[in-house]
């Protein structure tokens, strides 16, 4: 059974702070990792992908991957109220199939 | 911009009727598409993998005779909810892989009265 685990939250941070979202996965052969943002009532939107160990930065977002420890994280700098959403971690185990965590709800307070 | 579209975005139907939802990949061919269902405040649940030109692969517990999937072309997959009941009311989302990444359609909110 391939599992992707996330803390459901909610994670509350003040506006301007750094939000740190974490995800662990069970299968060592995983090669591709993704973060999606889902606003209430909307479908998930891809915000970051990461394939190799280390950090990947895109604007205010930084994805971090540590394959030895089997975790992937997402940092959101200078958090804004518009970042309030549920963040889904996804892991691709084979060419087609993705496995999703249950998501972490982030609240950014003005 | 959007790479996957869905239609309709919202549908209300009466119990016992069937509803068809379309999922299209825009400007790219998708030999595989996925269908998910999401109940309020719950996580995504993969229902089935739609394969162009062959039968869909259903996840455990998903009734293939109730949720009919047809992937007739490289850009279109359809999900038909047959004999819908109120408990089928949910948010149905399709997705397709473009390169290494998976992109979601905007979703279809189904309400069965």
pLDDT in tens, A60-84: 999 999 999 999 999 999 999 999 9
| Min Cα separation B103/chain A (Å) | 7
Tally helices (H) and strands (E) across chain A.
0, 11
Model pLDDT, residue A54: 96
Cite the beta strand spans of chain B per DSSP E: 4-7, 10-13, 19-25, 32-38, 45-51, 57-58, 67-73, 76-81, 90-98, 101-104, 108-112
CA dihedral (B110, B92, B44, A73) in degrees, to 10, reads -120
Closest by Cβ to A46, choosing from B91, B101, B105: B101
Interface of B with A (CB under 8 A): 32, 34, 43-44, 46, 49, 91, 93, 97, 100-107
Model pLDDT, residue A69: 93
- Select the more confidently predicted residue: A13 or B2: A13
- Nearest to A4, CA basis, from A27, A24, A33: A24
Q: A77 CB near a chain B CB, below 8 Å?
A: no
């Amino acid at each position: 059974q391939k599992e992707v685990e996330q803390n459901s939250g909610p994670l509350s941070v003040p506006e301007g702070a750094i939000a740190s979202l974490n995800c662990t996965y069970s299968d060592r052969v995983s090669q591709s990792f993704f973060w999606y943002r889902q606003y209430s009532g909307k479908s998930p939107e891809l915000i970051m992908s990461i394939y190799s160990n280390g950090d990947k930065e895109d604007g205010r977002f930084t994805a971090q991957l540590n394959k030895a420890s089997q975790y992937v994280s997402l940092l959101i700098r200078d958090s804004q109220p518009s970042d309030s959403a549920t963040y889904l971690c996804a892991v691709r185990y084979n060419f087609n199939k993705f496995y999703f965590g249950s998501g972490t709800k982030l609240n950014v307070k003005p | 911009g959007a790479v996957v579209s869905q239609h309709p975005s919202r549908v209300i139907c009466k119990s016992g009727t069937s509803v068809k939802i379309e999922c299209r990949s825009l400007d790219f061919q998708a030999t595989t598409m996925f269908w998910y269902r999401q109940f309020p405040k719950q996580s995504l649940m993969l229902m089935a993998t739609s394969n162009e030109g062959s039968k869909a692969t259903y996840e455990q517990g998903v009734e293939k005779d109730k949720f009919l999937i047809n992937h007739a072309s490289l850009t279109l997959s359809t999900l038909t909810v047959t004999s819908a009941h109120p408990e089928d009311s949910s948010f149905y989302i399709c997705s397709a892989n473009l390169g290494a990444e998976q992109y979601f359609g905007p979703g279809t909110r189904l309400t069965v009265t």
